[in-house]
Structure 1
Amino acid sequence: MQILPFYMVCDESGSMSGPGVDAINAALPDLHQEISTNPSVADKTRFALIGFSTQASVLQPLADLSELTQLPSLSAGGVTSFGAAFRLLKSTIEKDIAALKAEGHDVYRPVVFFLSDGVPTDQDWRTALQELNEFRYAPKIVAFGISDADAATITEVANFKAFIQQDVSVTPAVALREFASSLTRSIVSSATSMSAQSGEGFRLEVPDHVPGFTGISLDKM
């Protein structure tokens, strides 16, 4: 089969406690329902959930969502180590793609939806990001920043699209629900794109506009 892996990488630092993680946890069942009940989408995609704060952990290993009854929940605490997230993402992607290939699948380049509400507290995160972007299975990264996230940092993390919450009338909780909805729409649209092209590849479909967010140009030197 042709498989498109998606990774949702979420900030679980202390600043996300309360409404932040509650909003994501409330949105995850909708994501699971939308993907798992659509066979043409579930068959072509795999989904993983990674949380990061002081350390990073794989909360849900890469899986066919139709084979899961539910997704795990996020929890908040600790500081914001971007480097921990990028290092774990690199090693996880490498193992996942090797496993999929061993099963005989054709695997497309992974897609990462990265979310943070703050600035990195570690000093070497750029080194970890560079290593992630330079290895053979380097993912396409769509980055979202909410609350106190720095637009320049979010732009630096992204290599495909970046969004920053700038609408002060939209609460972080609402923005987080829109983030999850955007990920869901991207998975569905991208899988549909694969079907339409009859196995000749796919076009990654990410919404150009996400309510509550402003798109950031990635044209940088």
Structure 2
Amino acid sequence: MDDLFLQHKELIENPTARVPICLVLDRSGSMSGEPIAELNKGVQLFIQSIRRDDIAAAAAEIAIVSFGDEAPRKELDFGSIERQKVPYLTASGLTPMGAAVNMALDMLELRKKMYQQTGVDYYQPWMVLMTDGAPTDDITQAAERSTQLALARKLTVFPIGIGPHADLSALKQFSPRRDPARLKGLNFSLFFEWLSKSVSAVSQSTPGERIPLPKTGGWDEL
């Protein structure tokens, strides 16, 4: 069955208001070893936590873009979380962050159009951007797009620095409304546990309603 047809079918059969979330994850060479292993474990736990929450599972839609090598990759497209296969990321290459954010924003825009075509309401999209370094490509256009959407309240950006060498000033360019946070050690599991609780809280609210997110739970350096 064509994947695009399947996505339309899933939206029509389950008209629950959606929370579209795109994880934009660094898998460059500097993430080799324990960092990429812990990141993979955290993503797995995140998906599992959403699946265990009936309300969040019906509402949350997750996509994953990774950036390493010479270009970003679409690792997971939007769709029913019950049928999604969580990818395993491997670390190598450069840090094409700008191209990855552009890919993520394109995917979120396409998803919003699909919601509109099928009459499904949706919450403000989320983009989670995680890196342990600095971009190796031009981030100007991607940062401008992300900033405009965030200022118009059409996108929530969660910029997360991994380790002491993450360029928080570069991350800040994507997020005018939320300062970057630095992950404490390799607390990916705690971060994704917090993220799943945040998704659950939002999915139980009304689209457009502002709600406080849970406390960080100690995953960050604040």
Superposition map of 1:37-116 within 5 A? 37-53=52-68, 54-68=70-84, 70-116=85-131
Which amino acid in structure 1 is aligned with residue 60 of structure 2? T
Instruction: Give, in whole Å, the separation in 2 of the partners of 1:202 and 1:138.
Output: 13
Which structure's residues are more often strand, by fraction?
Answer: 1
Deviation (angstroms), 1:78: 1.1
Write out per-residue CA displacement over residues 12-53 of structure 1, whole angstroms, 9 at most, x where no aligned residue: 111111111111211222212211122211112211111112
Change (3 A) 1:89 1:137: farther
Aligned to 2:172: 155
Which residue type is aligned with residue 139 of structure 1?
L
Structure 1 runs (4+) deviating above 6 angstroms are none
| 8 Å Cα contact 1:9-1:52 kept in structure 2 | yes
CA-to-partner distance for each residue in 1:180-200, whole Å, 9 max, x for gaps?
2222222122213x1xxxx46
Cα deviation, residue 210, structure 1: 4.8
When normalised by structure 1's length, the TM-score is: 0.81
Matched to 1:163, the amino acid is A
3-state secondary structure, aligned to 2:221: strand
| Cα distance between partner residues in 1 of 2:212 and 2:89 | 26
Number of the residue aligned with 1:219: none
Cα deviation, residue 208, structure 1? 4.2
Supply the AA of the counterpart residue of 1:145. G
d(CA) in 1 for partners of 2:101, 2:211: 21
| Structure 1 residue 86, shift from structure 2 partner | 1.6
Range that drifts further, 100-109 or 203-212: 203-212
1:140 aligns with 2:156: yes
Aligned residue identity for 2:144: Q
Percent of paired sites with the same residue? 22
d(CA) in 1 for partners of 2:106 and 2:221? Answer: 31
The yes-or-no answer on 1:11 pairing with 2:26 is: yes
Residue equivalent to 2:182: 164
CA RMSD of aligned residues (A): 2.2
8 A contact 1:117–1:149 mirrored in 2: yes
Instruction: Answer whether contact 1:13 1:80 (CA < 8 A) is retained.
Output: yes
Q: What is the TM-score when the length of structure 2 is the normalising length?
A: 0.81
Which has the larger displacement, 112-121 or 36-45? Answer: 36-45
Amino acid at match of 1:133: T
Whole-Å Cα distance in 2 between the matches of residues 39 and 78 of structure 1? 38
Instruction: Extract unaligned runs of 5+ from structure 2.
Output: 1-15
Gaps of 5+ in 1: 216-221
